[in-house]
Amino acid sequence: MVYLKKFIQDLIEMGADFSTKKALKRSMKLIGIGPENVDRLYIEFKNDHYREKFKSIEPKYKMLFLPQCLRTTRCKAPITEAGYKCVKCSQDCKVYAIKAKAEKMGYRVFISPGGSMNFNVIKKFRPKAVIGVACMKELVLAAEELRIPMQGVELLKSGCVATDVNLEHVFSLL
């Protein structure tokens, strides 16, 4: 990892631009890294760029966004203007586990059916930082649009139904 950071610092000093996904894609093409790896690399860059700033912000000023597809099939959560409202119907639900831990720490948690709702909630409540758990497509969209510290966690299994996430990874970011 130290070698990779040094390599990236050298690339930036040589003029490589990693500020947007498009710029990263151009820079990576020059050194032979395929486009299939650009999204993941872009999110890693954004996470690394914001990591210390994100940590410095108190949880009461942060929001956590979870995808509705992470809910169990037995979920009874009603949909509201700000996403699904968890009713703690299943102790084995990862949404419930993450939400309980995050709220205990002071986070505002939203269970969202999609990215546009997330942006509306952010605009309304104006957090100082966010964590997003989502598929790579949604994470990249958020990383391109948000102008506040963020941390993105990619789903282990995507597809909008019965998805999965690494709980320990999410808990470590909280």
Q: What is the pLDDT of residue 68?
A: 84
Q: Give the per-residue pLDDT at 2.
A: 55
What is the predicted pLDDT for the residue at 52?
94
Q: How far is CA 1 from the centre of its chain?
A: 21
The per-residue pLDDT for 85 is: 85
> 114: pLDDT confidence band, cut at 50, 70 and 90?
confident
| pLDDT higher than 70, residue 58 | yes
Give the span between the Cα atoms of 48 and 51, in whole angstroms.
Answer: 5
Q: In whole numbers, what is the pLDDT of the chain averaged over residues?
A: 83
The yes-or-no verdict on residue 109 having pLDDT over 80 is yes
pLDDT at 5 over 90: no
Beta-bridge mates of residue 112:
67
Q: Name the 3-class secondary structure at 75.
A: coil
pLDDT at 128 over 80: yes
Q: Which helix (H) or strand (E) holds 62?
A: strand 62-67
pLDDT in tens, 71-108: 777 777 778 877 878 878 777 788 888 999 999 999 99
> Which of 75, 50, 73 shows the shortest CA–CA distance to 132?
50
* 54 close to 150: Cβ distance less than 8 angstroms: yes
Architecture of domain 58-173: 3-Layer(aba) Sandwich (3.40)
pLDDT at 36: 66
> pTM of whole model > 0.85?
no
What the block records as the tokens of 51 is: 């990591």
